[in-house]
Structure 1
Amino acid sequence: MLIVCIDSCLSLWMYTLLCSALQHWNRVLSSTITPRVLPAPELKQTTRTRDRVVLICQAPEGHLGTNFTLFRDQKPVASVVNQHGTETAQYTVTVGGGGLYCCLYQNNHGVYSGFSQYLTLNTQQHMLPAPTLSLQEDAGGVRRLACTGSAAFPGSVFSLYQPYQVDGGGPLLLLPTDPTATQRIPVTRHHAVFPLPVQEGPSATWYRCQYTVLLGQDWSFSEHSQPLAVSTPRGPTPPSTTGLSGVDWPLVLGSISAVVMFCCALALVGVIAYRKVQAVAKEKKKREEAQFWTKVRAKDHVVDYTLRPVSLDCQDWADTSTVPRTPLWNALSTFATQISL
């Protein structure tokens, strides 16, 4: 019986060890073997001018591609190669001719991804009215760029571009593929305000903006605004001399509030001190009146009990009925008066 038990225990132990080893090797092989197909990328349209469209092929998060290929009607038309690997690739496509576009990417192991979904270009014949780009500056010196679109298309998506200057000083600019900033505004507005990007160097920087609107199921693009040159300020902004526009109202109101609070506190202290003085004076007056009445009452109870001797003869004593019975002293009198008979 003991031998059978030992054999059974050893068999169970070896079986468990063998299963663990197989699971470990399965995990190792799963982590080292490259999958046959990578996740498909996403193809989207970003910007548009009158005669060209910019497309972006973006790989899923965590995946890098060394070769991105764009297809039109199942035929390769453009390719972007990056030996270090990247998540996105950009293509500039000429508007016209229609067609369906898709893309895929290849990683550094030579494995391809699946095809992206097909994309139909927005080939609108008429661009939306161009917006207006202006520079705004408040009293504190903060500068912003305001892009105002058509009031007929509220709730648009506004994009700010910092074009590349290609002619050395003129307004001939080449738009970049990626916007510097993008902002979607509420349906109650038709303009967007962008903080001015940090500028490097004393030379002027050019800016343009554009807005897009979702009409039905398609995005409609506007013309780009006229280029706006913004120079770096050389020094502090001088104070305004046009009336009270440069007054620091928060500081003024704060000072006035402090003065009012100080006056209220001073008046409260004065009222408390006055009431205290009045209470002390009233208490003193009560003490003086009490002392006065104490003295008066003391004088009212002083009575002279001294009587002069009176001699009466026998006749007087005999005829006492004729003598009026007058008390010798009045107990209610306040004066010490001697009585003479």
Structure 2
Amino acid sequence: MSFCGYFLTALIILEQHFSAAEISVPPAPTLIQTAVIGSSVELICQAPQGYGGVEFKLFKNRSLIQTVHLTEEQRARFMLRGKDTEKENLYCCQYGNSMFSSYVQPELKDYSPPPSPHLMVKPSSGLVAPGETLSFHCQAPPDHEKHPPETFLLLQRAKATPGSMVAPAKLVSQSLEAHFSVKTMGREDSGEYVCLYQLKQVNSTASQPVHINVIELPVPTLSLSRHEGEVLECVGSPVYLNGFFSLFRVGVLSPEATHLASLTQHSARFPVPTHYEHGAQYQCQYSVSLGNFWAYSKMSTPITLPCITGYHTCTQVSTGSTDLALFAGSVSAGVLFIMVVSLLGFAVHRHIKNKSEGRRQREQDKLWQNVHSRDHIVDLTLQRVDIGSEGFGGMLSGRPSDSEAIYDCPMTTFKNPTFY
């Protein structure tokens, strides 16, 4: 490269350097301490009005310790824990390539979380059966000095655990309450439920718990007893006495009979129906009253009643399987009948065709036989006639002479030849 080329390159580099130096650096942000959460301190780095960045940095004694990536926002939160909260530490922040903020010392002070909300549930008794839905209402206390809650949480407490979420968090805006709907599945949904809310990412204290009891009655058993006559006995749980027992026929919604057990019993007996169908199945269910709440058990395992000779009469009825077998047999018989008729028709058609072919062949043979019988050969030998001395006498007399034949070749003719 020539000297002029080097000179021009140097000028371009110097120009770019001085142009970059003239670019103004963004102003410094503001770093403030907003809250103390237990043993943690929250710092917020706030960019000036009209400025923002996608990257905020927190420095501890000029050493980078945290970085937050955002989408063109004006502030970022940083949490200090453990030894980072000591007063000897100095912190500053920066957004993008801005100037550094002023230093801030963490300050630990007494901290009290937001007050607890109030939790209510429907039904208010907290007694439900599996499959029913609970409706929770969580309401935060009114506080005009602070912002309204940002999020509500519903937790189910278990032993030795702080609680687990049982429903998605409710994000609210300018509201002091939230509603949760929880469908119970079984006994595992029983227990204590609490709610809380978040204010500036700080959790409030938990509400007073509400107790939920999902009543799932044990499944009863149904058996056929013949000790004191033929009866169906339905036995429930000994924990629940004085319940209503109902006998159902499988496939029928309404019970055939309902009995109330005594105050000391947890079973009921039903007489076997006088007339019933062979193979009929029965099952039972019981229910108990728990204050204003009725709990129902699941259906027992079905039993099939056999034919009981004597007092009871069972009638044979066609079941679905019998009808299916009958239908299949009918179809098979129909198919077999069609096949036999088809084979028989084919055999008859073949026989008639062969017989017709034989008759036609015989008629044809007879026709040709008749034609050949009418066809014959006539041998006409023409002999030479001497009419010299006798003149026409010999011809008139009709006697041929012993002269030499005129033609030696025979002639063939058909029946009734014509001579000229």
Q: TM-score range by the shorter chain?
A: 0.3 to 0.5
Q: Which has the larger radius of gyration?
A: 2
Higher helix share: 1
Structure scoring higher RCO (CA < 8 A, sep ≥ 6) equals 1
Higher strand share: 2
The TM-score, its normalising length taken from structure 2, stands at: 0.33
The TM-score, its normalising length taken from structure 1, stands at: 0.39
